[in-house]
Protein backbone atom coordinates (compact mmCIF):
# COMPACT_ATOMS: atom_id res chain seq x y z
CA UNK A 1 0.00 0.00 0.00
CA UNK A 2 1.22 3.50 -0.75
CA UNK A 3 1.79 5.94 2.10
CA UNK A 4 -0.71 8.71 1.42
CA UNK A 5 0.56 11.00 4.17
CA UNK A 6 3.21 12.62 1.95
CA UNK A 7 1.79 16.03 1.05
CA UNK A 8 4.65 17.38 -1.07
CA UNK A 9 3.19 18.85 -4.30
CA UNK A 10 3.75 17.09 -7.60
CA UNK A 11 5.63 18.84 -10.37
CA UNK A 12 3.93 20.44 -13.36
CA UNK A 13 5.41 17.72 -15.61
CA UNK A 14 3.92 15.02 -13.36
CA UNK A 15 0.56 16.81 -13.32
CA UNK A 16 0.45 16.91 -17.13
CA UNK A 17 1.53 13.27 -17.36
CA UNK A 18 -1.22 12.20 -14.95
CA UNK A 19 -3.75 14.15 -17.00
CA UNK A 20 -2.58 12.31 -20.14
CA UNK A 21 -2.96 8.99 -18.29
CA UNK A 22 -6.52 9.98 -17.34
CA UNK A 23 -7.31 10.73 -20.98
CA UNK A 24 -5.96 7.33 -22.03
CA UNK A 25 -8.00 5.61 -19.32
CA UNK A 26 -11.16 7.41 -20.51
CA UNK A 27 -10.45 5.94 -23.95
CA UNK A 28 -10.39 2.44 -22.45
CA UNK A 29 -6.64 1.99 -21.96
CA UNK A 30 -5.74 -0.11 -18.92
CA UNK A 31 -3.29 1.69 -16.57
CA UNK A 32 -1.26 -0.31 -14.05
CA UNK A 33 1.34 0.61 -11.43
CA UNK A 34 3.72 -2.21 -10.54
CA UNK A 35 1.26 -4.70 -12.04
CA UNK A 36 -1.86 -3.45 -10.26
CA UNK A 37 -4.63 -1.12 -11.32
CA UNK A 38 -4.93 1.76 -8.87
CA UNK A 39 -7.74 4.31 -8.45
CA UNK A 40 -7.06 7.64 -10.12
CA UNK A 41 -7.25 9.39 -6.76
CA UNK A 42 -4.01 7.56 -5.76
CA UNK A 43 -1.98 8.46 -8.88
CA UNK A 44 -0.60 11.77 -7.60
CA UNK A 45 0.54 10.13 -4.38
CA UNK A 46 2.17 7.27 -6.27
CA UNK A 47 4.18 9.67 -8.44
CA UNK A 48 5.01 11.91 -5.49
CA UNK A 49 6.41 9.01 -3.47
CA UNK A 50 8.28 7.49 -6.40
CA UNK A 51 10.05 10.78 -7.06
CA UNK A 52 12.27 10.23 -4.07
CA UNK A 53 14.22 13.07 -2.54
CA UNK A 54 17.54 11.45 -3.46
CA UNK A 55 16.50 10.88 -7.09
CA UNK A 56 17.07 7.12 -7.04
CA UNK A 57 13.67 6.00 -8.33
CA UNK A 58 11.00 6.90 -10.88
CA UNK A 59 8.21 5.24 -12.88
CA UNK A 60 8.96 3.98 -16.38
CA UNK A 61 6.06 3.35 -18.75
CA UNK A 62 5.69 0.48 -21.22
CA UNK A 63 3.04 1.10 -23.86
CA UNK A 64 1.30 -2.09 -24.96
CA UNK A 65 -0.34 -2.02 -28.38
CA UNK A 66 -2.92 -4.27 -30.00
CA UNK A 67 -2.03 -5.83 -33.37
CA UNK A 68 -3.91 -2.97 -35.06
CA UNK A 69 -1.53 -0.47 -33.41
CA UNK A 70 -3.72 1.27 -30.82
CA UNK A 71 -2.53 1.47 -27.22
CA UNK A 72 -4.43 -0.98 -25.01
CA UNK A 73 -2.40 -0.80 -21.80
CA UNK A 74 0.18 1.41 -20.11
CA UNK A 75 2.29 -0.42 -17.55
CA UNK A 76 4.13 1.81 -15.11
CA UNK A 77 6.93 0.10 -13.21
CA UNK A 78 9.00 1.67 -10.47
CA UNK A 79 12.67 1.74 -11.45
CA UNK A 80 15.52 2.25 -9.04
CA UNK A 81 18.61 3.91 -10.46
CA UNK A 82 22.04 2.70 -9.43
CA UNK A 83 24.96 5.03 -9.10
CA UNK A 84 25.82 5.77 -12.73
CA UNK A 85 29.41 6.68 -11.82
CA UNK A 86 30.20 2.97 -11.41
CA UNK A 87 29.78 2.26 -15.14
Tens place of pLDDT per residue across the chain (87 aa): 444 445 667 788 889 999 999 999 999 999 999 999 999 999 988 888 776 656 677 888 999 999 999 999 999 998 887 654 555
pLDDT, position 6: 54
The 8 Å CB, 24+ separation contacts for 37-41 are 38/2
Within 13 Å of residue 19, how many CA atoms lie on the same side as its CB? 7
What is the per-residue burial (b if ≥16 Cβ within 10 Å, else e) of 53-87?
eeeeeebeeeeeeeeeeeeeebbbeeeeeeeeeee
Amino acid sequence: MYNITNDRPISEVQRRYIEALRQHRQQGVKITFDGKERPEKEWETIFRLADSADGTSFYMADYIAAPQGEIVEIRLEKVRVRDLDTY
